[in-house]
Amino acid sequence: MGTLSYKDFKLNKVFDFGYMNLSEQEIIDFALFIDPLDFHTNKEIAEKGIFGGLITSGPHLFFLFYKNHYVPLFKDTIIAGLEVNNWKFLKPVYANMKVFCKVTIASMKPNKEKNRVAVKWHFDFTNEKGEHFQMLDMTVLHKMKEEKKKIKK
Amino acid sequence: MGTLSYKDFKLNKVFDFGYMNLSEQEIIDFALFIDPLDFHTNKEIAEKGIFGGLITSGPHLFFLFYKNHYVPLFKDTIIAGLEVNNWKFLKPVYANMKVFCKVTIASMKPNKEKNRVAVKWHFDFTNEKGEHFQMLDMTVLHKMKEEKKKIKK
């Protein structure tokens, strides 16, 4: 599937991003890059802590699906990120757990004059039973239509 | 300054994280890792786009100060992240711009029985004139006191 355009945006439309899981090494590498807390980066310390094992950095789940699914689908329409709200970290995610992600268009505020639309994307991250690991609302400014390319003389 | 503890937490207390700036290469490397949009990763395309140049991925600013200032100061007290709200991307950040960061304790909900406190940290990211590039509220569960280590016989 290639990049989508504004005609694919509909209120309450759900995009199913399937599932992914993370190895211990992927959890550690991501956390060393932006969230270097011991319970994300050090297996031995994590096993003695309240979670009883290495857990994924909260932001890792979102960025995993954002980078691998959202960006490839929507990148040609994105003007800029506007805001993030209600990002809730509800359950720990351990290595090799299946995490499912679905994204719903929760609101759309078009500005036809400027050829722009502010879309609120609601992300749900769940386990196989549908219990939430995490959720988040991301509002992004998109192009409504591709502007016509200037024709070179 | 070493890691702080709960006795350093006071409502409305402000922590000044100073300023940082990002090179073009740092902007590109971060974006390739989690936010690979052309206007963060490709100078030539970015220069032709609406921002007129390469701009920093929104999350980059937060994670820069979080990793380099917040984590070193508070890591020994952190139990888990709870939520992120009101993360607003207000102005683009270009390479070599000074970004100042101050963090304020916006609320504290202690649970003495469980020896825990939920702290809402309000982050302000501004330029030299005090204009906001970005802001965010992050709620984190912290230990109130270090638990006594078990004494080995």
Question: What CATH number should be reported for the domain holding residue B77?
Answer: 3.10.129.10
Mean of per-residue pLDDT scores for chain A? 93
Q: Does residue A50 belong to any structural domain of this protein?
A: no
Quick check: A81 pLDDT over 70? yes
Confidence at residue A150, expressed as pLDDT on a 0 to 100 scale: 52
Q: What is the pLDDT of residues A13-38, one digit of tens each?
A: 999 999 999 999 999 999 999 999 99
> What's this model's pTM, rounded to 2 decimal places?
0.93
Q: Does residue A33 belong to any structural domain of this protein?
A: no
Q: How far apart are CA A125 and CA A136, in angstroms?
A: 9
- At residue B10 the predicted structure's pLDDT band, cuts being 50, 70 and 90, is very high
* Residue A37 C-alpha, separation from nearest chain B C-alpha, in angstroms: 7
Taking contacts as CB-CB distances below 8 angstroms, the residues of chain B near A70 are none
Phi and psi based region of residue A60 (left: phi greater than 0; alpha: psi -120 to 50; beta: remaining)? alpha
Query: Per the structure block, which two tokens stand in for B153?
Result: 């016989």
How far lies A70's CA from each of A5, A20, A47, A95, B49, in Å? 13, 14, 33, 23, 21
ipTM of the assembly? 0.92
Quick check: B82 pLDDT over 80? yes
Q: How far apart are CA A35 and CA B70, in angstroms?
A: 10
**Based on the structure, what is the number of domains in chain A?**
1
Mention every residue, 6+ apart, whose C-beta is less than 8 A from residue B92: A80, B51, B55, B56, B133
- At residue B149 the predicted structure's pLDDT band, cuts being 50, 70 and 90, is low
Taking contacts as CB-CB distances below 8 angstroms, the residues of chain B near A78 are 37
List for chain B the helix, strand, coil content (%; round to 5): 30, 35, 35
Q: Does residue A16 belong to any structural domain of this protein?
A: yes
Q: How far apart are CA B134 and CA B58, in angstroms?
A: 8
| Residue B86: domain span | 11-21+61-143
Q: Does residue A105 belong to any structural domain of this protein?
A: yes
For chain A, the residues whose C-beta falls within 8 A of a C-beta of chain B are 33-38, 50, 58-59, 63, 66-67, 71, 75, 78-89, 92, 136
Confidence at residue B49, expressed as pLDDT on a 0 to 100 scale: 93
Confidence at residue B153, expressed as pLDDT on a 0 to 100 scale: 45
For chain B, the residues whose C-beta falls within 8 A of a C-beta of chain A are 33-38, 50, 58-59, 63, 66-67, 71, 75, 78-89, 92, 136
Q: What is the pLDDT of residues A82-106, one digit of tens each?
A: 999 999 999 999 999 999 999 999 9
Q: Does residue A1 belong to any structural domain of this protein?
A: no
Three-state secondary-structure class, residue B128: coil
Minimal Cα distance from B136: which residue of A?
A84
A98 within 8 A of A21, measured Cβ to Cβ: yes
More confident position, B86 or B149: B86
Mean pLDDT confidence for B59-82: 96
Query: Per the structure block, which two tokens stand in for A150?
Result: 């200037």
Q: Does residue B51 belong to any structural domain of this protein?
A: no
Confidence at residue A146, expressed as pLDDT on a 0 to 100 scale: 72
- At residue B151 the predicted structure's pLDDT band, cuts being 50, 70 and 90, is low
DSSP E strands, A22-149: 78-89, 99-111, 116-126, 132-143
Q: Does residue B91 belong to any structural domain of this protein?
A: yes
Taking contacts as CB-CB distances below 8 angstroms, the residues of chain B near A63 are 34-35, 59
Q: What is the pLDDT of residues A40-73, one digit of tens each?
A: 999 999 999 999 999 999 999 999 999 999 999 9
Picking from A19, A32, A101, A33, the residue whose alpha carbon sits closest to that of residue A62 is A101
Contact between B92 and A80 using a beta-carbon 8 Å cutoff: yes
Quick check: A153 pLDDT over 50? no
